[in-house]
Amino acid sequence: MSVVRLDRWLGLLAAVVFVLAVAGFGAGLEGYAQARHPVALLGARGVPHALAFNLLGLQGEALQLACTRRWSLPFVPPSASARQRLPELANRLGFAVVQGNRMGHLLGADVSKGRALEVLKQRSGGSPVRVLALGDSPNDQPLLEAGDLSVVVPGANGPHPVFADALAQGRYQLAPACHAQGWAEAVFQHVLNAQC
């Protein structure tokens, strides 16, 4: 089969997948009618929780489950303007949104990496546990606060600005290198050399 002919079949397949996706979207969202809310609008308007769907891509049962979820649901962050509206929307629905380096995270009530660490420490049965906490983005801040020794791993342009105060106050240490090298060196320095 020639490349041109293959391209035609792939184009047809893409069109069919698009039509099925639009039909599935319409069928899956209660109160949504293609005639009233055409897909060209790139989002649901005038239906319950439309803003949550537009920003998070969640609807119906998935949105309800996200509201009661005890851990995090990662998502690809929307545009910068939509990202500014997320915290207020999340708060209204009873959860929070935090930003990692690449992904956003939808969090249920009282959910964070720091809270998870606190629960793990409580379940350790009273044995003395010391935790080396490493982080590089805003969603790591609760973990760093809960750790016994907290190390910020910088990116290529330095540490994330959210950590500036804690670094200046000496509450967090700065890893000696960025990205993976920084993670590895911090673990080597503090765990393998038993400084934790």
Domain borders along the chain are 1-48, 58-111, 113-192
Label residues 52-72 b or e (16+ Cβ within 10 Å = b).
Answer: bbbbbebbeeebeebbeeeeb
The pLDDT value recorded for residue 93 is 81
Instruction: Give the pLDDT score at 196.
Output: 46
Separation CA 120–CA 134 (nearest Å): 16
How much is the pLDDT for 42?
Answer: 43
Look at residue 73 in the predicted model and tell me its pLDDT: 76
For residue 154, what is the DSSP state? P
Of residues 176, 179, 151, 147, the one with CA closest to residue 163 = 151
Q: pTM of the full predicted structure?
A: 0.60
pLDDT in tens, 90-114: 888 888 888 887 788 888 777 888 9
List of the chain residues with pLDDT < 50: 40-42, 44, 196
DSSP E strand boundaries for the chain: 72-75, 96-99, 104-107, 132-135, 149-152, 173-174
Q: Supply the pLDDT for residue 61.
A: 73
Q: Quick one: tokens of 65?
A: 């489950």
Q: Which pLDDT score, from 0 to 100, does residue 102 have?
A: 77
Residue type, position 150, single letter: S
pLDDT of residue 49: 58
